[in-house]
Structure 1
Amino acid sequence: MTVSWGRRLVSSALAALSVGVVTHAASVFIFFIAQEYQAAVIGQVSDFYFLATVFSVVLLFVFGIVGGMTRWYTALAAGLFTGIVACLIGTGITTVAGGFALDAETISYLWSTFVSINGVYVVVITVLAATIGRAVYNRIAGGRSAVPVAERRIALVRMPAANLADGQLTHLERSDVDTELADKQWDGYVSALEENGWTTREVGFADSLPDSVFVEDTLVLLGGTAVVTRAGTDSRRGETEAAEETATDLGLTIERIMSPGTLEGGDVLKVGSTLYVGRSSRSNADGIRQLRAIAAPLGYSVVAVPVTRALHLKSTMTALPDGTIIGHPDLVDDPAFFPHFLAVPEREGVAVVALSDDTVLLSSSAPATAALLEDRGYTVVSVDVSEFEKLEGCVTCLSVRVR
């Protein structure tokens, strides 16, 4: 996927350069201080570290490309490995170029430098890779600046993976997915959020997880609390880690659904202080019990709803800003279950995202539903999400709104 790999290349390069330059400068400065501020030390130590820094940038760039800079522990390991290998190569080249043979004595000398001058470099680059390097990588890969969580108009989104077309299907037959078109549609979706007053924050890119673009399934937001879900299929359980990191960065309190419970965010419809939770193929009874235990002290009640005709509850119904629940009769098991239910004419029209009290986001595949909602006084923002609909996705699946 062109956009994804482009961002990955840029973020990897800038993260590697940032870590390499700062490591070089910090290591030189440490020896400058240690040698009682002797100016001559700056040039000598800088020359000594030059080749190690060049190789460090190259190695960290490679680690970034393969995803080694996305998490603190992989970045820490990448920094440690990079520091050791780059120092061995850099110091080795300098030593051999100085007329020394690459024999056992020289190799012993190279390793001995790790208890002195090269040891400092390794420690510094290990720490900076896990901090500065990871921060630069994730910020640029995400592509948008964070906004203080106090503003509460943040939408978490996640770029489509290159293998998006391999996403799981439960109720639909598989059809061809145009990933390039999906990228453009995702950009249009994000732009629609931003143009209507939402600041987007991208969850770390997951190129090997085809369903990761459906970020709604990873978190359930209850005010200042983020419930980290547990997917109903093993292949999707790797999606929550980066989402939890983003929620933590926003200062949200973290709760978790634990095994044997399963719960996916697409099964949770919040209407005021009521949480309608789909008992679907993806969310089980234990997951609903755990959510009830988490939600009750926060002032929410949980109502379990059977879901047998679609993947998630919000694939069958959502709520307008006034609390009216909309859905398609063919998808909803029992419309009479809800106090205020409005049938919509198109299956693609069951999912809306409330952008404000009088504006909703809707798939462009549902023009008749758009007309119905406009007749009820709502401003409708239509976006094309056809490629995601082929994968049982909808407009709600593509974001988690923090508000």
Structure 2
Amino acid sequence: MTSPATHFNHAISRRPAASVTGGLRAEDRGAPDLARMQAAHDAYIATLRATGAKVVVLEALEDYPDALFVEDTALCLPEGAIMMRPGADSRMGEVAQMRPTLAGLFDDLRDISGPGHIEGGDILFTGREVLVGRSARTDAEGVAELRIILEEWGHSLRELQTPEGVLHFKTDCSLLDPETVLSTKLLDNGYCFDGYRVLHLPEGEEAAANAIRFNDVVLLPDGFPKTADMLTREGYDIRPIDNTDCALLDGGMSCLSLRFNV
């Protein structure tokens, strides 16, 4: 049985721009290598397409170094799409750039109008509810505005707190199937994932937390053998993807696409 939280027939991604070397980062660990990032992005797109999904790849936006992280611009659900309001000033313009594409795919398109802020990286749709973690990029006002829209569409929202020092809620977790969450022990503090089966990241491999279930495969950052072995033992069909350069910009597997059904 498929779920709208894990099985998709469409995705949207965006090519990294040359300006990505100046993208936002919590800690400066060096600039990403553009050629290597583009090669990894090609592998990511190919993996999505291999599942049978239609993947739209948008052109790079030189004026917006972080624009390849399209997930932060919108939340796509079976009922429609909601345009986000990023918490980083330099990323605000990315939403307007994404809007025409989604307007051509969704009949019901809503907007977070503010004054609050919210980014897609803080939102985990599990099929039964929408988990939203407040963070440095997502505040109470943004969550409250999202809640109003979701309630109209029949979805319940559960507000949580992203741990200090963690950029986005989904930096530290991902949905493996409608009943199972992959999470760091830091995030799984006893109440975040009540009612779900939780698989904890092996010690030292917490950076592998941001994976995505896309149809029948799990895209996982490459270079985390203990996590890969654990998920394989659990029966998941994993596809390792080089995330070396995106990680320098605090990005991961979910950041690189909007995933939905139309």
Shorter-chain TM-score above 0.5 = yes
Residues 1:344 and 2:201 aligned together: yes
**2:37 pairs with 170, 182, 196, which one?**
182
Letter in 1 for 2:207: E
Q: Percent identity?
A: 31
Q: 2:51 aligns with which of 192, 196, 221?
A: 196
Query: 1:385 is aligned with what amino acid?
Result: N
Instruction: Report the equivalent of 1:395.
Output: 253
Match of 2:138 in 1: 283
For 1:4-403, list aligned pairs within 5 A. Answer: 153-170=9-26, 172-307=27-162, 308-330=164-186, 332=187, 334-339=189-194, 340=196, 341-345=198-202, 346-356=205-215, 358-403=216-261
State the 4+ residue runs in structure 1 displaced beyond 6 angstroms.
none
Contact 1:274/1:303 (8 A) holds in 2? yes
CA RMSD, 1 decimal:
1.6
Task: Show structure 1 runs of 5+ residues with no match.
Answer: 1-150
Gapped runs of 5+ residues in structure 2? 1-6
SS in 1 for 2:103: helix
TM-score, normalised to structure 1, is 0.60
Cα distance, 1:333 vs. partner?
6.3
Q: Distance in 2 between matches of 1:306 and 1:197?
A: 36
Q: Which has the higher helix share?
A: 1
Report how far residue 240 of structure 1 moved: 0.8
Query: Offset of 1:335 from its aligned partner?
Result: 4.3
Deviations for 1:135-177, whole angstroms, at most 9, x for unmatched residues?
xxxxxxxxxxxxxxxx95111001101110111112x333231
**TM-score normalized with structure 2 length:** 0.91
Deviations 1:317-369 (A, max 9, x none): 11111421111124x1624431232211112221221122x421111122211
Please report how far the alpha carbon of residue 297 of structure 1 lies from its aligned counterpart in structure 2 after TM superposition: 1.7
Q: Which has the higher strand share?
A: 2
CA offset digits 1:235-256 (Å, max 9, x no partner): 1011011211100111341111
- Secondary structure of the residue that 2:199 maps to in structure 1? strand
Pair 370,290 (structure 1): closer, same or farther in 2 beyond 3 Å? same
Structure showing greater Rg: 1
Higher relative contact order (CA 8 A, sep 6+): 2
- Are the equivalent residues in 2 in contact too, given 1:359–1:381 (CA < 8 A)? yes
- Between the two proteins, the alignment pairs up a number of residues equal to 250
The whole-number CA distance in structure 2 between the counterparts of 1:208 and 1:393 is: 18
- Distance of 1:195 and 1:176 partners within structure 2: 30
